[in-house]
Structures are given as structure tokens and as C-alpha cells.
Amino acid sequence: QVQLVESGGGLVQPGGSLRLSCSASGITFSLYVMGWYRQAPGKERELVARITSGGRINYADSVKDRFTISRDNAKNTVYLQMNSLKPEDTAVYYCNSRYFDNYWGQGTQVTVSS
């Protein structure tokens, strides 16, 4: 059974930082493209960042130079370091794994507010 479990969300003030983690089980983690997506109320889910099995990384323009995605294949975990957070970063953040199949985590809420 495949499971993606996100953690690290919460409430943070503008300009603050959070680190999200996604722990995967039931897949050969090193083969998968791992990504972080987010969905704000009333908006479609959008890609935030993704990292391939070879380490190639893509970011949404809105988070470039503020967010950093990384992966630890030994721990089957992908991370999203989020710095200089803005109110518009408020959303539910979802972990995604993609190879020949596609899996999603349950999501973790990130709220940026003073």
C-alpha cells in the first residue's frame, strides 16, 4: 500500500519560514519524480516544485528564490523549505509522487498571516 504522509505545516507570520516533509512508503522512492503542489481556496491545484530521480528541479515562478525542494532517497523523504513566506502562499500543500503511476498525500495546511 502506497502512503505519502506530509508534515510541517502550520501558521506563520509573513516573512517567516516553514519546512514541509513528505515521507513515502510502498514505492521505490528513488525512481519517482517527487513534487509539491498547493491549492488555495477557490483556486486550482498548482505545481510548486518538483525534483526528478536524477535531481533536476523545477519551481513555479512565484516561489523561485524563496522555496527549496530536496530529497533524501535513503529516508524516502522529500522536503520543501519555504522562506520569506507571503500571505499568498496560504494553501493546502500536497506531496505527489509520479512514475508510471501517480500518488498524492493527504495535504498539510500552510497559513501565512499576521
pLDDT (tens digit per residue) in 65-103: 999 999 999 999 999 999 999 999 999 999 999 998 999
H or E element at residue 58? strand 57-59
pLDDT (tens digit per residue) in 32-65: 999 999 999 999 999 999 999 999 999 999 999 9
Whether residue 106 has pLDDT greater than 90:
yes
Give every CB contact of residue 107 below 8 A, 6+ residues apart in sequence: 6, 39, 92, 93, 94
Sign of CA dihedral 52, 112, 89, 85: negative
Give every CB contact of residue 64 below 8 A, 6+ residues apart in sequence: none
